[in-house]
Amino acid sequence: MRSDKRRRLERAGWRVSNTAEFLGLDAQEQRLIDLKLALAAGIRRFREKRGLTQAALAKQLGSSQSRVAKLEAGDRSVSLDLMIRSLISVGATSADIARIIRRAEVHEAA
Amino acid sequence: MRSDKRRRLERAGWRVSNTAEFLGLDAQEQRLIDLKLALAAGIRRFREKRGLTQAALAKQLGSSQSRVAKLEAGDRSVSLDLMIRSLISVGATSADIARIIRRAEVHEAA
DNA sequence: CGCTGGTATGTCATATTTGACATAGGCACT
DNA sequence: AGTGCCTATGTCAAATATGACATACCAGCG
């Protein structure tokens, strides 16, 4: 998956021959993944707290059970947009969301 | 909701056709929009603090100046994913991002 | 055992988001 | 007047995310 990002960058025009810069991107990608995983876990926590099934949440969202399952699994195919939308739909306040994100920072240490 | 806010939204392409519809916007959708606008403003703040141009940030992101401009305008065509990616790229920590999101809550009026 | 309700995983056509590009506006300076 | 630099906005083909669907997995309960 890393080489795929690199190819994308190279196709986009800027040379990515600078390894340090490339690894820097990789680290940022990792932080985004950590964030998504934290949000995914948060969605599940809130959903269960609300006593909702994945299908019920999906209905609220205008989505489907399978997508909610992917959401909570932190699947590569789900966007942050859908994650935040889900958190809002499941009753999380901005403060709740902020808390989840702040908590993800724990994994940021070099 | 004040008209300056509405103007901001319209400028960003959030199709707000009349006052009734504006006031009738689904509350959850409204919260997501508020979140995005807060993040957009945050990106600009961090970028400027770093002394980066839109083009420079675009290069870091593997994106283009025009997309960064849309990002900071809170344009409807930009995803939360790209926003968070940008914040990370521009040096925001998870705590910073959390702070921006928590602050977005202030605008929640009914 | 079978059955039911919940969850996981894969696929796919469609919808949305993307970087790139063109181009315009603004602003400072010569 | 012009030149250079930064930002805004619109368009479009290609990339990515989407809901829907099928299907499998996994309890718990009879």
- Could you read off the pLDDT of B8-45 as tens digits, one per residue? 666 666 655 444 444 445 789 999 999 999 999 999 99
Does B51 contact chain A (CB < 8 Å)?
A: no
Give the residue ranges of DSSP H helices in A2-93.
2-11, 19-49, 54-61, 65-73, 80-89
The Å distance, CA of A7 to C1' of C6, is 41
pLDDT of residue A39: 97
The Å distance, CA of A25 to C1' of D20, is 35
Nearest CA in chain A to B82: A80
Residue B73 main-chain phi, psi, to 5 deg: -85, -5
The Å distance, CA of A67 to C1' of D22, is 14
- B81:A80 CB<8 A: yes
* Whole-angstrom distance, CA of residue B33 vs CA of residue B45: 18
- A98:B93 CB<8 A: no
pLDDT of residue A55: 98
pLDDT of residue A98: 97
Cα–Cα distance list, B23 to A14, A86, B6, B9, B16 (Å)? 45, 22, 10, 13, 10
Q: Quote the pTM value.
A: 0.83
- Could you read off the pLDDT of B35-93 as tens digits, one per residue? 999 999 999 999 999 999 999 999 999 999 999 999 999 999 999 999 999 999 999 99
- B94:A31 CB<8 A: yes
- A102:B95 CB<8 A: yes
Please, are residues B39 and A97 in contact by the beta-carbon 8 Å criterion? no
pLDDT of residue B11: 63
Q: Using CB atoms within 10 Å of the CB of residue B31, give its burial: 0 to 12 exposed, 13 to 18 middle, 19+ buried.
A: buried
pLDDT band of A97, cuts 50, 70, 90: very high
Please, are residues B90 and B28 in contact by the beta-carbon 8 Å criterion? no
Point out the residue among A88, A94, A102 whose CB comes nearest to the CB of B94.
A102
Nearest to A40 by CA among A88, A87, A89: A87
| A85 pLDDT higher than 90 | yes
